[in-house]
């Protein structure tokens, strides 16, 4: 088992990564924290696969366990759903000495984490991520949020879990489309920080990458942990993790979160930035071709053009906006990235020229 410690003084916690230890997680939680009651928040897909297993294990430990099941999908990450969760927590007399367990992907983790951050001004929560995307990215780092009609993650907080338990074996039940979605975040890490990860990805394809997925998850989690320890509240370094996300979030919103999932949209966001960067001579042709080919190999190359003026409307509501400017992430080369603060007019022209 690989244990990565995210050292944030009083907010420090461990991330456990291994394969095939899912049924041991409740015992590990009990040994570390001794909660009397837990509420498991999960979705209607994951619940069918893993909810009874984990409840049975908690029952053996005499831990009182309730569950709240949300519909699968981004639309559940709402203020309305949050109020239903609060009601459930109150009905089950959850106190500050109890804990919320997020069992699922990024939506579940964000929603459960924000509920934990705000219920009774904060109770413990545990992350048990079940998708590749949540295992390599969203379960680590303490960013929790819900969406508003105007945009994604506009109401949120920095609130860290007490621990993260990653069992790579649960990915065996993941639909291929969701696995591909997670690969977008993996490619992001290769782009911004890790050339060695890029080399691993180029030596495999969508079928063979499963043989090294634990190694990949460890590399991604370690990279994110290092970034978060350096810049917990996203003042600079942590912004690099948003590569492809500014445009990607706008694409998700354009289709009201119904056509493309998060990773598919981020993949398109990275492609937009690559095209614009090539046209502006910010990256060379070899870098561009290598990354476009990588997106293609992992099923993330979509040939779709959007009305840029509509995307810009959504991007102006992005949480990375500062007055009339926005921070964007650019590449120097594969594995090296930087932040540029630009005006909206510049960004629109930059993207438009890249699409021409």
* H-helix segments, 92-235: 106-118, 132-133, 176-192, 195-202, 213-230
Instruction: Choose, from 77, 249, 253, 320, the residue flagged as catalytic.
Output: 249
The DSSP symbol for 9 reads G
Instruction: Choose, from 238, 252, 253, 261, the residue flagged as catalytic.
Output: 238
Closest CA to 351 of 309, 300, 291, 299: 309
Can 340 be counted among the known catalytic residues? no
Residue 163, by phi and psi: left (phi above 0), alpha (psi -120 to 50) or beta?
beta
Instruction: Choose, from 193, 253, 262, 320, the residue flagged as catalytic.
Output: 262
Residues 203, 209, 212, 215, CA torsion sign: positive
Q: Which residues pair with 125 in a beta bridge?
A: 100
Instruction: Choose, from 234, 252, 261, 327, the residue flagged as catalytic.
Output: 234
Instruction: Choose, from 9, 80, 91, 121, the residue flagged as catalytic.
Output: 121
Instruction: Choose, from 152, 193, 245, 253, the residue flagged as catalytic.
Output: 245
Whether the Cβ atoms of residue 290 and residue 191 lie closer than 8 Å to each other:
no
Question: In 3-state terms, the chain is what percent helix, strand and coil (to 5)?
Answer: 55, 20, 25
Can 178 be counted among the known catalytic residues? no
Instruction: Choose, from 185, 232, 252, 264, the residue flagged as catalytic.
Output: 185
Can 242 be counted among the known catalytic residues? yes
Can 60 be counted among the known catalytic residues? no
Can 245 be counted among the known catalytic residues? yes
Instruction: Choose, from 143, 214, 219, 253, the residue flagged as catalytic.
Output: 143
> Beta strands 143-148 and 325-333: pairing type?
unpaired
Can 152 be counted among the known catalytic residues? no
Instruction: Choose, from 242, 252, 264, 327, the residue flagged as catalytic.
Output: 242
Can 249 be counted among the known catalytic residues? yes
Burial label for 326, CB within 10 Å (0-12, 13-18, 19+), is buried
Can 176 be counted among the known catalytic residues? no
Instruction: Choose, from 55, 160, 224, 253, the residue flagged as catalytic.
Output: 224
Can 320 be counted among the known catalytic residues? no
Can 224 be counted among the known catalytic residues? yes
Catalytic residues: 121, 143, 185, 224, 234, 238, 242, 245, 249, 262
């Amino acid at each position: 088992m690989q244990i990565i410690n995210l050292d944030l003084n009083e907010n420090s916690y461990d991330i456990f990564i291994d394969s095939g230890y899912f049924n041991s997680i409740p015992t590990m939680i009990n040994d570390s924290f001794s909660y009397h009651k837990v509420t498991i928040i999960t979705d209607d897909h994951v619940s069918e696969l893993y909810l009874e297993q984990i409840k049975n294990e908690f029952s053996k430990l005499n831990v009182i366990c309730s569950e709240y099941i949300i519909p699968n999908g981004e639309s559940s990450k709402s203020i309305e759903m949050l109020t239903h969760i609060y009601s459930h927590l109150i009905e089950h007399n959850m106190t500050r000495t109890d804990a919320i367990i997020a069992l699922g992907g990024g939506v579940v983790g964000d929603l459960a984490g924000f509920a934990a951050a705000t219920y009774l001004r904060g109770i413990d929560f545990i992350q048990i991520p079940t998708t590749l995307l949540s295992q390599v990215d969203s379960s680590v780092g303490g960013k929790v949020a819900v969406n508003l009609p105007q945009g994604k993650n506009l109401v949120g907080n920095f609130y860290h879990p007490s621990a993260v338990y990653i069992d790579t074996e649960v990915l065996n039940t993941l639909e291929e489309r969701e696995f591909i979605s997670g690969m977008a975040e993996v490619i992001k890490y290769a782009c911004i920080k890790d050339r060695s990860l890029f080399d691993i990805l180029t030596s495999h394809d969508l079928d063979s990458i499963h043989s090294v997925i634990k190694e990949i998850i460890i590399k991604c989690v370690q990279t994110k942990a290092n970034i978060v320890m350096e810049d917990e509240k996203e003042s600079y370094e942590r912004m690099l993790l948003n590569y492809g996300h500014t445009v990607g979030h706008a694409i998700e919103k354009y289709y009201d979160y119904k056509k493309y999932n998060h990773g598919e949209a981020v993949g398109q966001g990275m492609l937009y930035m690559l095209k614009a960067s090539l046209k502006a001579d910010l990256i060379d042709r070899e870098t561009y071709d290598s990354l476009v080919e990588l997106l293609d190999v992992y099923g993330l190359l979509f040939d779709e053009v959007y009305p840029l003026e509509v995307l810009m409307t959504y991007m102006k509501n992005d949480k990375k906006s500062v007055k009339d400017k926005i921070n964007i992430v650019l590449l120097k080369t594969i594995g090296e990235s930087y932040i540029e603060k630009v005006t909206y007019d510049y960004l629109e022209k930059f993207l438009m020229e890249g699409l021409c």
